[in-house]
């Protein structure tokens, strides 16, 4: 059976309301003007240091650390409960899990926040590992951690996500990737993935067709 790695935001869950409100809460606390919802949707998925630089020009370490603290604090205390699981995802997770696949989450979210979201949505039991990123940690490091596991890394493996960061991270470790169109990416990002699916129910067949063993030299 396969090892299947999922991104969280925009792939398993729609976090839009909580993330938009958390960005605007953080900007307001730091003295910046809030931004329109549609503008902030672009920042679902990318690393927070990149997002806050693009939104407010924040690049000094002290202000960036404060911004991340405010943002993640609101996510952990309030916004985690504003996540909604996409229709059909629970059924796909159940199907893959019952079929013997080992499921993991690799997300730009802090690990404890990702676990809290999975618990809130009653899907934590499907996952063997739930991994999150520190501020400057690339997602490719999370994939390498999974590849280094004696069981997970010995199976055909694939990364599933909605943004370019997912497909680039997979490419960096020579891992195939599947783009999902129900998230927050666009066609230029999807072009970086190995395959693209339109609906959750299309995932099992795509996983079967595209999961592959990753040479140990790439870990």
Are 2 and 207 in contact, with CB atoms under 8 Å apart? yes
Q: Residues 7, 162, 166, 195: which is the catalytic one?
A: 7
What is d(CA 92, CA 200) in angstroms, rounded to the nearest whole number?
A: 7
What is d(CA 42, CA 24) in angstroms, rounded to the nearest whole number?
A: 14
The pair of three-digit structure tokens given for residue 184, joined into one six-digit string: 């927050």
Question: 63: burial class by Cβ within 10 Å (0-12, 13-18, 19+)?
Answer: middle
Q: What angle do CA 20, 21, 25 make, to 5 degrees?
A: 120
**Residue 144, CB-side half-sphere exposure with 13 Å CA sphere:** 12
Residue 213: Cβ within 10 Å count: 12
**Does the annotation count 60 as an active-site position?**
no
Q: Is 2 helix (H, G, I), strand (E, B) or coil?
A: coil
Residue 166: C-alpha distances to residues 34, 95, 102, 183, 207 (Å): 28, 23, 19, 12, 15
Which residues face 15 on adjacent strands?
none
As annotated, the active-site residues are 7
């Amino acid at each position: 059976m396969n090892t299947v790695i999922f991104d969280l935001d925009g792939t398993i869950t729609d976090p839009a309301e909580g993330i938009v409100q958390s960005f605007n809460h953080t900007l307001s606390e730091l003295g910046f003007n809030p931004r329109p919802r549609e503008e902030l949707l672009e920042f679902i998925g990318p690393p927070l240091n990149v997002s806050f630089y693009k939104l407010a020009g924040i690049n000094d370490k002290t202000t960036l650390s404060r911004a991340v603290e405010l943002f993640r604090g609101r996510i952990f205390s309030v916004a985690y409960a504003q996540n909604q699981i996409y229709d059909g995802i629970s059924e796909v997770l159940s199907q893959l899990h019952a079929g013997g696949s080992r499921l993991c989450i690799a997300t730009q979210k802090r690990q404890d926040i990702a676990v809290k979201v999975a618990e809130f949505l009653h899907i934590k039991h499907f996952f063997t590992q739930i991994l999150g990123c520190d501020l400057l940690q690339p997602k490719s490091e999370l994939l390498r951690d999974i590849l280094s596991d004696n069981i997970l890394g010995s199976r055909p493996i694939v990364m599933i996500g909605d943004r370019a960061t997912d497909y680039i991270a997979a490419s960096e470790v020579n891992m195939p990737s599947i783009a999902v169109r129900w998230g927050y990416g666009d066609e230029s990002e999807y072009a970086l993935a190995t395959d693209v699916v339109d609906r959750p129910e299309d995932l099992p067949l795509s996983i079967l067709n595209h999961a592959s063993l990753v040479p140990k030299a790439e870990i």
